[in-house]
Amino acid sequence: MRAPPSDLPIVFDQVSLQAGEVAILRGVSMVLRPGAPTALIGPNGAGKTTLIRLAASLMVPTSGRVTWGGKPGTDGARFAVVFQRPVMLRRSAAANVAYALPRCPAGERRLRTNELLLQVGLAHLAQRPARRLSGGEQQRLALARALAREPEVLFLDEPTASLDPASTKTVEDVIRTAAASGTKIVIATQNLGQARRLAADVSFMLRGRVHEVGAAEQFFHAPQTAEAAAFLNGDLVV
Amino acid sequence: MPKTRVQNSMSAIDLLLGGDPALYAIVRLSLIVSLAATALAAIVALPFGAMLGLTRFPGRAGVIVVLNACMGLPPVVVGLAIYLLLSRSGPLGFLGILFTPQAMILAQALLVFPIIAALTRQTVEDVWSEYRDELMALRVAPFRRVATLLWDARFSLITALLAGFGRAAAEVGTVIIVGGNIDGFTRVMTTAIALETSKGDLPLALGLGLVLIGLIIMINALAWGVRRFGEARAG
């Protein structure tokens, strides 16, 4: 079952976030529309994670607002978040996925859990305590748990930052499958290769602002701003 | 001629090894009262402490300060309050449980409640800071959050329960007021130790003291084992 189309677009309207005297986000305005994956790219401290947290109502902006399908807040919105360091509940891998299916009848929940674990390549570790899994396995488990919610929007915050290439490929394959089935993927990453492989749109962020927005192909071949060009060139952009 | 300390200790061991029925009745009642009081307190204190750890409301800091302060409640004052409540002319006098083990359980539960609640609050708050984003992103309902945090902090909360049990098992002032230290009915280890010492029957007092310490060590060892086993299984 898909969410009503009214959940998208997500609109950031002049969103700012101040922590003491530090401006984390400065008047960000952008729109996340249905369709192919969007990558939020930029150096550390650019505000990518904060943007995701604001979209998911995990933080409240100092000024401006975020709307989902024209409505403020995330009430009723179908989304899920995979964090850079996901928290594993103190139970088995299967129970971690089942936790995200509280309203499912028991039999259906078991089936769905098994499907999701299979999808992320963890079926053989279903009964292993989640906290005993490796970093890559935990990230895949977090992805399975997020997908259990059948989100219309899936936010991924540096989902493969500390993973080996094999785990990265598994995670990216699952992301592609989710995107192909209609889930809007919003991925924050510093990994330009990953952004190239996955994203159709790119928002380049720097110092709490969105500097450039555009189609991925155009952005990577002909960036419009000097900062974006420098970042793509591997220069330190501060 | 008065007995030496060594002779007293030997007599205490004789009583223990000889399976003295009076000694064992006292030990049994002590265990029942302390475990029941800890369980009763835990049923209320665990969710209360967790809710306090998770919710924000005006005056919360004051509630936490009072709760923490109550960990040091003077047992005789609690005993006196329960005595007044349960005495024939008191508001709960109709229950008719003054000078019974039930009254002792109630009084000990009141003493133990703030210990378990305060330690639970702190533990759950710590776990919540780790889990907050994940549970919020999963849109977990508030009551399910409480259940999740209590379950995931279960091994740490064993320490809170042990602290509560330790307080209950070592308590003397409250139970002597509301229990009356009636031989064969409400006499527990701590009240018996106080009585036997005042009577000069040091072997029984020492025997009870050794048993009390031994039981507390055993229960702590058991809890430690459960915790290690559980952590090994659940990660």
Given CA atoms A150, A155, A161, A162 in this order, what sign does their dihedral have? negative
Which of A81, A90, A102 lies at the smallest CB-CB distance from B235? A90
User: Is A164 domain-assigned?
Assistant: yes
pLDDT band at B231 (very low <50, low <70, confident <90, very high): confident
Q: How far is B42 from chain A (nearest CA, A)?
A: 21
Query: Can you give the residue range of the structural domain that contains A210?
Result: 5-88+153-232
Cβ contact A90–B133 (<8 Å): no
Give contacts of A131 with chain B, Cβ < 8 Å. 234-235
Give contacts of A53 with chain B, Cβ < 8 Å. 133
Q: What is the mean pLDDT of residues B159-188?
A: 93
Return the biggest CA–CA distance within chain B: 76
Please indicate if any CB of chain B lies within 8 Å of the CB of A145: yes
Query: Can you give the residue range of the structural domain that contains B51?
Result: 19-188
User: Is A123 domain-assigned?
Assistant: no
Q: Rounded distance, CA A78 to CA A148, Å? A: 11
User: Is A82 domain-assigned?
Assistant: yes
Cβ contact A56–B148 (<8 Å): no
User: Is B41 domain-assigned?
Assistant: yes
- Cα Rg of chain B (Å, integer): 21
Q: Which of B95, B111, B105 is nearest to B178 (CA)?
A: B105
User: Is A17 domain-assigned?
Assistant: yes
Choose from B56, B123, B134 for mutation: most chain A CBs within 10 A.
B134
User: Is A110 domain-assigned?
Assistant: no
CA–centroid distance for A5 within its chain: 19
Q: What is the mean pLDDT of residues B169-183?
A: 93
Q: What backbone phi and psi angles, to 5 degrees, belong to A203?
A: -120, 120
**Cα dihedral: A206, A207, A208, A214 (round 10):** -10
Q: Looking at residue B186, what is its pLDDT? A: 95
Q: What is the mean pLDDT of residues B155-183?
A: 93
Please indicate if any CB of chain B lies within 8 Å of the CB of A81: yes
What is the number of structural domains in chain B? Answer: 1
User: Is B218 domain-assigned?
Assistant: no
Q: What is the mean pLDDT of residues B222-230?
A: 89
Give contacts of B138 with chain A, Cβ < 8 Å. 80, 99-100, 145, 149
Give contacts of A57 with chain B, Cβ < 8 Å. 136
Q: Rounded distance, CA A186 to CA B83, Å? A: 64
Say which CATH number the domain at A75 has.
3.40.50.300
Q: Are strands A63-68 and A10-19 parallel, antiparallel or unpaired?
A: antiparallel
Percent of chain B clearing pLDDT 90 (strictly above): 75
Q: Looking at residue A3, what is its pLDDT? A: 45
In order along its 238 residues, chain A shows pLDDT tens digits of 444 555 889 999 999 999 998 999 999 999 999 999 999 999 999 999 999 999 999 999 999 999 998 888 888 789 999 999 999 999 999 999 999 999 999 999 999 999 999 999 999 999 999 999 999 999 999 999 999 999 999 999 999 987 889 889 999 999 999 999 999 999 999 999 999 999 999 999 999 999 999 999 999 999 999 999 999 988 888 7
Angle formed at CA B189 by CA B23 and CA B29, multiple of 5 degrees = 75
Q: Is the pLDDT of residue B233 over 90?
A: no
User: Is B58 domain-assigned?
Assistant: yes
Q: Which of A22, A61, A39, A13 is nearest to A207 (CA)?
A: A22
Say which CATH number the domain at B135 has.
1.10.3720.10
User: Is A214 domain-assigned?
Assistant: yes
What is the number of structural domains in chain A? Answer: 1
Q: Rounded distance, CA A196 to CA A202, Å? A: 9
pLDDT tens-digit series, residues B206-215: 888 888 899 8
**Cα dihedral: A146, A147, A153, A154 (round 10):** 50
User: Is A145 domain-assigned?
Assistant: no
Q: What is the mean pLDDT of residues B58-77?
A: 94
User: Is A47 domain-assigned?
Assistant: yes
Angle formed at CA B160 by CA B153 and CA B216, multiple of 5 degrees = 130
Q: Looking at residue B178, what is its pLDDT? A: 95
**Which residue is closest to A148 within chain B, CA to CA?**
B138
Give contacts of A129 with chain B, Cβ < 8 Å. 233-235
List the 174-193 stretch of A: residues with Cβ below 8 A of B: none
User: Is B154 domain-assigned?
Assistant: yes
Please indicate if any CB of chain A lies within 8 Å of the CB of B230: no
Q: Rounded distance, CA A207 to CA B213, Å? A: 62
Cβ contact B130–A80 (<8 Å): no
What ipTM was reported for this prediction?
A: 0.89
User: Is B234 domain-assigned?
Assistant: no
Q: Looking at residue B133, what is its pLDDT? A: 95
Q: How far is A89 from chain B (nearest CA, A)?
A: 7
- Determine the angle formed by the axes of helices B21-54 and B60-70, rounding to 10 degrees: 170
Which structure tokens are listed for B162? 């042990």
Give contacts of B130 with chain A, Cβ < 8 Å. 87
Which of A81, A102, A130 lies at the smallest CB-CB distance from B137? A81
